[in-house]
Amino acid sequence: MSKESEVVKESSMLMQKEMIADNYEALTSTAESGRKVASTFVPGNLNELIMCFGMLNNLPEINAIQNGMRKKSGAMIMDAERNGHSEDVCTYVKADIGQMSKGNIAPNGKPMPAPDLLLLSYTGCFTFMKWFELLRHEHGCETVMLQVPYTGDGVITDNMRSYVIKQLKEEVIPAMERVSGVKFDIDRLRENLRRSAEAEDNLVWVLESAKNVRSPIDAYFGGVYYIGPIFTAFRGTREAIDYYRVLRGEIEQRIEQQLGPVTPEDDMEEERYRLVVEGPPNWTSFRDFWKMFYDEGAVVVASTYTKVGGVYDQGFRHDPDHPLESLAEYCLGCYTNRNLPNRVDMLVNYVNDFQADGLLVNSIKSCNSFSAGQLMMMQQVEKRSGKPAAFIETDLVDPRYFSAANVKNRLESYFQMIEQKRSRIEAA
Amino acid sequence: MAVKDIIERCTELYRDLEFNAAKRWKAAGSDRKVMGYMPVYVPEEIIHAAGMMPLGIVGGGDQMEVIHGDAYYQSYICRIPRSTIELGVTGKLDFLDGILFPSICDVIRNLSGMWKMMRPDMYVQYFDVPQNFADGIGGEYYVKELEHLRDEFSALAGRPVGDDAINRSIALYNERRRLVREIYDFRSEAPWKAPTAEVHLLMRAGLVIPVEEHIRMMQGYLAAAREEDRPVRDCCRVVINGSFCEQPPLNLIKTIEMAGCYVVDDDYMLGNRWLLEDLATDGNPLEVLADAFLHHSADTAAKYCPRKEDVGRFLLQSVKDTKAEGVIFSAPSFCDPALLERPMLADRMSEHGIPHISFKYAENSGQMQPIREQAGTFADTLKLWS
């Protein structure tokens, strides 16, 4: 029996797998269907708007993740580096460019179509801007840019909001109309946003369920699956509503049965450590990485990576009554578009609200948007929460930067540190 | 004053990580304030109009041992933020009344938040600029951001910063821009008379002294350099690209020159020539500054290029205007903007038959032999085959 077939899968997982497969099928069948494709990014993803024009949403980061998990990204990155891309820059970019040089094959084995529109939502990550310039350099298709100002003072100002809305009205929507041949219908957008909000309610409920001591979920390794539909091509769809309803039902059941999180091997037995994690996961050794946690009884009760495509647990919901304003607020509020003091506040609140034992930072070599400043953030969280923090380094999709032995050593030391801290508290 | 004396003064300023010139300026008046800023561009005119001195901060260079700064950053982050943190942690920037972090990359952006946490008592501002260059969209946004900045500076200065004051500052900065252009043109015409190591020091001095003094310094240099008799060497003409933020060590620039290259254009400290033309001094100054930013500003990797066909156009024009024979892509290690853009620029150069090479550096790079060999080979190739 292969290892893959031993993996435990719940209904929601199978549902999501089917949704993703259908989406890749739709993407790779545009020659027959005639549908247009918009490539865009997860943070600041305007899926509800894209759907108004009957377009399909293709996310290069997700393709890179898929390639990472399938162990294909390493060769793609090296291809890109051989073609002049620096070893210093984001490996998502190089995996994407490398994928093109290898025939641009989608995970379903069929060729991915060239995008009809590059929708550059420049939200919280400078690299996005140059990434799409590089894709335009390759594809030569129409590109439209939505600049989302960084909330440097930790607040969304009227000027920022107006700027985003104006770009949507005067540049993004006209470009989509032009490419798709479909006229913009704001009522269709409202309908999509209404569906988004419904799904978002259930996602937040799922994430908050980790406040239970004996958490029914892992909010990082499991969390990346939970955010899948809402961060990608399904926000605003009926399928996303159904998915989150089913997922919530499963979690409710787990709470009732006092079960811990589901892992690739089985339900997690004992919950020994409750952690908050800052930073994206490593994708090339995702299962091995996760195993290092659940083998030790460590469950992640809150993570910031699951807020990179929308910070719904802080109260934001897409609002059908204020459609464009709501899209602007969504983009402006994404996690990496928030200033560092704001990010520290979130982490401290997570540690306290989720009764965590501490903070773990997974620092990603590729991602300066996340990583620059994390050491200081870690110190601040330790100081304010009184809980120990630890730091590991990996990469997104470059297998050369995942050193299993180093990561495991550091994690084991961290768990010992938590134990010592507990002993001291008990002794006091 | 002779070139030697001027460059000696510039070298002193370059080496002075205590920023004594700015401290002296501040001490000369009880209401004087100093506003720091990181690369690449901030509207210095508004700072100046508020009676403050803009102070350009480009890290600690190769003279500073970074001890504390490394504890704040992972190994894969460039060096300028860690040496800037070092300057901050060691108290060298305590005399500042505020600091601006312009929109250039995620690292400098996040440094603004770090500074807010490190120095809650200091005015710290992330300064965003538009990447949308339409007057009614990006322009409107930018004018409001400039108004916000002006209002903040008024509060800091304790007096309103009016249009007339900003217009007067624009006139002064026009003069500086003219002189910077003149020096760059002079170097391009007679690079043996204005070596880039000197021009670099001269421009770098402008970061840390009042603009009025910098204008006099540049006037003096131009006059002296024109008079000075220096031998013409058998060098090829190159443009340097990718060094707009973290600056290379002076030795690296000297190494490129010693390897047989006349640097006839570069993007070192691009802020002083970010705005390419003289600005009107009788209009609404914030609109004038916005218009210049949107339509008449330098191109660099920190900016979005809305049209594919315009990628590399600025660099191509520079090569053409300066009659350069090749391009050296010289970017700091881990510099996302420069390194992400480099393949596109390299392709564009290749399309036009312009030879190019690339290497990386850090502001404290010490090993120059590999650079010398690479630049020397490039220079020989250009001389033989160009």
Tally of domains within chain B? 1
Q: Which helix (H) or strand (E) holds A57?
A: strand A56-58
ipTM of the complex model:
0.96
Q: From residue B31, how far is each of B35, B122, B213 by CA, in Å?
A: 13, 17, 19
CA neighbours closer than 13 Å in the CB half-sphere of residue B338: 24
For B357, phi then psi, to 5°, come to -135, 170
Q: Say if B53 falls within a structural domain.
A: yes
Query: Pick the residue with more confidence: B110 or B1?
Result: B110
Q: Is B91 inside any structural domain?
A: yes
Q: For residue A403, is it within any domain? A: no
- Answer whether B311 sits within 8 Å of A159, measured CB to CB: no
Tell me if A390 sits within 8 A of A356, measured CB to CB.
no
Residue A296 belongs to some domain of the structure: no
CB contacts, 8 Å: A130 with chain B: 301, 336-337, 340-341
Collect all residues of chain B within an 8 Å Cβ-Cβ radius of residue A157: 148
A26 vs A420: CA distance, rounded Å: 53
Average pLDDT, chain A: 95
A94 touches chain B (CB under 8 A): no
C-alpha dihedral over B134, B139, B141, B144, to 10 degrees?
-170
pLDDT exceeds 90 at position A425: no
Terminal-to-terminal C-alpha distance of chain B: 39
Across the interface, do A373 and B72 touch by the CB < 8 Å criterion? yes
Contact A296, A380 (CB under 8 A): no
Closest residue of chain B to A150, computed from CA coordinates: B128
* Cβ atoms within 10 Å of A391's Cβ, excluding its own: 17
Report the candidate in B184, B120, B152 with the shortest Cα–Cα distance to residue B43.
Answer: B152
- Whether B117 sits inside 8 A of A340 (CB atoms) is yes
A-B contacts at Cβ under 8 angstroms? 164
Residues in chain B: 386
Interface of A with B in 236-295 (CB under 8 A): none
d(CA B44, nearest CA chain A) in Å = 20
For position A6, what pLDDT does the model report?
A: 61
Any domain includes A160: yes
User: Mean pLDDT, to the nearest integer, of B321-345?
Assistant: 98
Asked if residues A367 and A90 have their Cβ atoms less than 8 Å apart, the reply is yes
Give the model's pLDDT for residue A139: 85
What percent of chain A stands above pLDDT 70?
98
Domain assignment present for residue B253? The answer is no
pLDDT band, residue A8 (cuts 50/70/90) = low
Position B209 in a domain:
no
Q: Do A126 and B72 touch (CB under 8 A)?
A: no
CATH number at residue B110: 3.40.50.11890
Has residue B119 been placed in a domain?
A: yes
Inter-chain touch B74–A363, beta carbons under 8 Å: yes
Which residues lie across from B34 on neighbouring strands? B53
Mean pLDDT of B182-203: 98
> What does the longest C-alpha to C-alpha distance in chain B come to?
62
Which of A199, A221, A371 minimizes the C-alpha distance to A303? A221
Residue A9 within a domain: yes
Pair of tokens at residue B298 = 């330098």
In a domain, B382, yes or no: no
Q: Which of A85, A122, A393 lies nearest to residue B131, judging by beta carbons? A: A122
Q: What pLDDT does A217 receive?
A: 98
Residue A42 maps to a domain: yes
Question: Across the interface, do B340 and A93 touch by the CB < 8 Å criterion?
Answer: yes
For the cut 90, the answer to whether the pLDDT of residue B155 exceeds it is yes
In a domain, B82, yes or no: yes
Of residues A89, A122, A152, nearest to B336 (C-beta): A89
Among A100-109, A202-211, B154-163, B175-184, whose mean pLDDT is lowest?
A100-109
Q: What is the mean pLDDT of residues A172-201?
A: 98
In which domain, by residue range, is B143 found?
20-157
- Nearest by CB to A88, from B131, B334, B346: name it: B334
What local confidence, expressed as pLDDT, does residue A138 receive?
86
Number of domains in chain A: 1
Q: How confident is the model at residue B64 (pLDDT cuts 50, 70, 90)?
A: very high
pLDDT at A7 > cutoff 70 = no
Per-residue confidence band for A2, with pLDDT thresholds at 50, 70 and 90: very low
Nearest-by-Cβ selection for B131 from A83, A129, A380: A129
At A427, is the pLDDT very low, low, confident or very high (cuts 50, 70, 90)?
confident
* Boundaries of domain holding A126: 3-186
* CATH number (domain holding residue A7): 3.40.50.11890
Average pLDDT over residues A21-43: 96
What pLDDT shows up at residue A1? 38
The nearest alpha carbon in chain B to A129 belongs to B304
pLDDT for residue B36: 98
3-state helix/strand/coil string of A91-145:
HHHHHHHHHHHCCCECCCCCECCCCCEEEEEECCCHHHHHHHHHHHHHHCCEEEE
Partner B contacted by A404 (CB < 8 A):
no
Chain A: give the shortest CA distance to residue B347, in Å. 10
Asked if pLDDT for residue B346 goes beyond 50, the answer is yes
Q: What is the pLDDT of residues B237-267, one digit of tens each?
A: 999 999 999 999 999 999 999 999 999 999 9
- pLDDT category of residue A4 using cuts at 50, 70 and 90: very low
| B314 in a structural domain | no
* Strands of A117-122's sheet in order across: A56-58, A37-39, A117-122, A142-147
Model pLDDT, residue B124? 98
